[in-house]
Amino acid sequence: MKAIIPVAGAGTKLRPHTYTQPKALIPLAGRTILSIIIDQLVEAGISEFVFVVGYLGEKIQHYVEKKYPKLTCHFVHQASREGTGHAMLLTREVVGNDEILIVLGDTICECDFKEVIASPYSMLGLKKVDDPRNFGVAELDDQARITRVVEKPQIPKSNLALVGLYKIKETQQLFDCLQNNIDNKIKSHDEFQLTDALECMIEHGVQFNGFKVSNWFDCGRKDTLLETNAILLKKYKLASNPVLPYENTIIIPPVSIGEGCNIKNAIIGPNVAIGDNTVINYSIVKDSIIGSFSNLYEVVLKSSLIGSDANIRGLSQSLNIGDNTEIDLG
């Protein structure tokens, strides 16, 4: 089995950070979104990956090759972003006839991946949501078989959202449906959707079963990213990793502090993730993500997302600052 992770999106909802960093490499609970996904799949027994890259794709490739040198990795370039269906079709030559597990590059879910992989059927990950109109939606029969999938329906007939996990056994049927949709310009919401290809497969008799994920973390916007950071810090039990005797500093867990950080005269936490080689002095930081090689002096931060190589002086309350930024609030 091969895992396919599409990470070609521009991540516009996380501007300004995604001007210089792919969304999948945004730091999260001392790791990155992409590393959390890959680690889950490696633990489930997958060792061959296909990454669909585009925007800032060279950073994705460099990161994966450096951090996971023992994995077999393929990188497929999506020059024009025309939807998830278009991205999947680009992997056809690399996948061949192998079964695949597709995990969207901004999707962090908790489920039994080994059980999903072992299933004799194709499987789609599902989660009940309050408003399913912004998601792909699955309709099930009384035996948990999926009878229909629709992308962002205006009048949903189900509250079961597709979470971005797809285990496909009938890969040739998938690629045939994707090719048919593209040849005939079958789009939903102006894009070639993977959901439409799955519906084509269902109509041609392929059986899909649904499986429910226990948790589904949203990494697409600043506020939900900070919420996810707090949840995962608690889950990974990162009181700090480990706490070093920072000068005149109080650490309030859970906190993740990268290597080479210089922190003094500060209160850090709770729910803070700090990248490598960051300097923090005379500051209070809580409920925030701070990138690597940043400098914070005399600041009070809460609910903030700070990129790498940022320099901040003065007092503040809530910031959303991208990489290579310098701010003096004094």
Q: Which of residues 39 and 12 earns the better pLDDT score?
A: 39
Calculate the average pLDDT of the chain.
87
Q: What is the pLDDT of residues 212-237, one digit of tens each?
A: 898 888 777 777 888 889 999 988 76
Q: Cα 164–166–169 angle (5° rounding)?
A: 170
Domains (range + CATH), the chain:
2-223 (3.90.550.10), 239-313 (2.160.10.10)
What is this structure's pTM?
Answer: 0.86
Q: What is the pLDDT of residues 34-58, one digit of tens each?
A: 999 999 999 999 999 999 998 788 9
Question: Do residues 221 and 14 make contact, with C-beta atoms less than 8 angstroms apart?
Answer: yes
By CB neighbour count within 10 A (0-12 exposed, 13-18 middle, 19+ buried), where does 68 fall? middle
- Please check the confidence at residue 242 and state whether its pLDDT lies above 60: no
How would you label 300-314 residue by residue, b for 16+ Cβ within 10 Å and e otherwise? bbbbbbbbbbbbbbe
Question: Are β-strands 122-128 and 160-168 bridged in parallel, bridged antiparallel, or unpaired?
Answer: antiparallel
| Separation between Cα atoms, residue 187 and residue 183, nearest integer Å | 11
- Please check the confidence at residue 150 and state whether its pLDDT lies above 60: yes
Q: Cα–Cα distances in Å, from 327 out to 32, 294, 330?
A: 25, 11, 9
Helix (DSSP H) and strand (DSSP E) numbers for the chain: 8, 25
Place of tokens 């597990």: 101
Q: Which residues pair with 138 in a beta bridge?
A: 149
270 confidence band (pLDDT: 50, 70, 90): very high
| Separation between Cα atoms, residue 18 and residue 12, nearest integer Å | 7
Q: H-type helices in 204-311, by residue range?
A: 222-235
Q: Which of residues 164 and 14 earns the better pLDDT score?
A: 164
Task: Give me the pLDDT at residue 240, please.
Answer: 44
What single-letter amino acid sits at 41? L
Question: Do residues 126 and 214 make contact, with C-beta atoms less than 8 angstroms apart?
Answer: no
Place of tokens 């009181």: 239
Question: Do residues 274 and 256 make contact, with C-beta atoms less than 8 angstroms apart?
Answer: yes
The predicted model gives 154-158 an average pLDDT of 89
Q: Which of 21-25, 204-208, 265-269 has the lowest mean pLDDT?
A: 21-25
Q: What is the pLDDT of residues 284-307, one digit of tens each?
A: 999 999 988 899 999 999 988 888
Task: Give me the pLDDT at residue 326, please.
Answer: 54
Q: What is the pLDDT of residues 177-199, one digit of tens each?
A: 999 999 999 888 888 999 999 99
Task: Give me the pLDDT at residue 82, please.
Answer: 87
Task: Give me the pLDDT at residue 321, please.
Answer: 55
- Please check the confidence at residue 200 and state whether its pLDDT lies above 80: yes
CA 151 to the chain's CA centroid: 20
Task: Give me the pLDDT at residue 175, please.
Answer: 96
The predicted model gives 134-154 an average pLDDT of 90
Q: What is the pLDDT of residues 93-116, one digit of tens each?
A: 999 999 999 999 888 898 999 999
Q: Classify residue 129 by its DSSP letter.
A: -
